[in-house]
Chain A
């Protein structure tokens, strides 16, 4: 029975997909039709384009500022970063203005040298492995917890609003404040966590002093910071699942696990796919948690790719801008590859995204 329900859900979803594709196809056809018509009427292709611009000039005008701003604040730094990663720019040879004196840039183009040296350094692989472990651990735990909490909060019970508020709170507090608060809690000698453990007769745990515990601690804090977002997004997803489906399943005698497995999860799919992608990208680049909690330590055991890039640019002296840009470009490439693979796997599952 349950199987039947799930099939019908899947079928319904499939229908939706088909409809969607069809609709898009139709609209695309309509566009090109009108383009052709315009072309026919004007007689030339170029005037078709001019006509399209003429008809939709306001759309272009609306979009232009956004394109411009994005180009300036994202495009230009990106291009510049890629360029810097191909040079030997450091603090000593970039152009700078010191009061009345202007010092010209003297760095040179060195091709792929920076990439060769970063990739041939064992440090890169170490950081990459831990970054992946950190991302997977954080995202999976955050998602699971968020899903459980969202399900719990999706029921009717007394004080629901209060619980929701309480669970959203970590998100409302600025990230660095939370991280500093946790840093106090984790302090081995004077932190509250160890004081509580001590009261229970348990030896102090070196939260941030032992590589393994430090890794555990950074993951815990990041999960704490990330759960509210997951919860809210999934709660939204849950509320968009029609109640009739559950009613029908219940009538058919489906157990609560079966309902969760065959209605909730498929119903949440598009939301969860999106939040997992977002959360992965954020966690991969989660600078503040690591930097403020452990500074990558003890030693360099919790250093992720982004904090390493920061280290190259801002801690070593002279600041090595080229090496930092190289790390940045590599991080971007990794995330782009991840997003492409992710998208492809979604496509295979029939998800249009």
Chain B
């Protein structure tokens, strides 16, 4: 699954921040405990110093009289202080956690133990604080921290999102306006994408340069075909006129005339190819004007009149089921005539003896659809994608030769009129060519000027 760059960045940001925050929240009790203990230990030391100062100033007697130790507890036993005589070789100076039994309860205390000598006596000072009071803040802190941090994450994600949206905006524009399939390569005016990001500027310029290269290559190819076919016309013309004049001479015997006819046929073939290439190049160079209004039924009838002899020849039945009063506007009649002629001609050429052809039209989703179905030899699935390529010849016509330019003509005429062509086919069953016309008008028979 491919995601957009912005989505990926936002996702990564969210997940990484969330992971860090969760780790932090998870470690929070330990951190708090550490902080508390460190702070508490500092307090112990201060208290110890104070106490020792008091002992130093006022003597030990302030606390200990007659060997009676001093002890003081806060009412809930969360803190205590204890001063007592200790064994003379007992030497301690620690702060650690220890369990103490206080009136049936075992409570864990953090205890500072410190021995000191006054005179020749050894004393032990203990200051204790219950661990549970030390750590009791960590739970609420944890949940508060979590909430605050989650809120902050949301805020930063939003900020990230808007910023990345802003920063990646130009990329989006480049993709949408210049790279989407049906727009690429979009020849025409170059519009610079506004961006302050150097990389996008570079990308935009590169794409533009690439499109220019493609465009000029296309242009060169079109010019070449156009020029080549034009240049071929003159020599063909000369040859044709020479053959015709020779054929009309009385001193040329019939034997030679038959040869001349063979030459004429080959020349006609050359003419056809050249004419077709020229037509395709003229269509691609937009040399035709689309200002005719035609009735589809009438146009198909004209094609039928022209082509009926070929139907008779193979005993093919042609059934037309065409919507009345549908007119196509802003089209080129000559070109559409050629388009249908070639399609129907193919439907005949690749049909079987006594086969049939059905031509239907209907309105679908506000567009005019014309289908041409034949019961012919069909096109194999692996050849189907290439049928519109020039000079591709793979279907063995049953009857006559062709030079593989019929469908390329159809394709370029369709593209010129923005007609969509779909082809489906099944070997030995037949093919269906579907044409979808973008703009048509339903109008009455009378309003058409033929």
Q: Do A and B come from one complex?
A: no
Residues of B within 8 A of A (CB): none
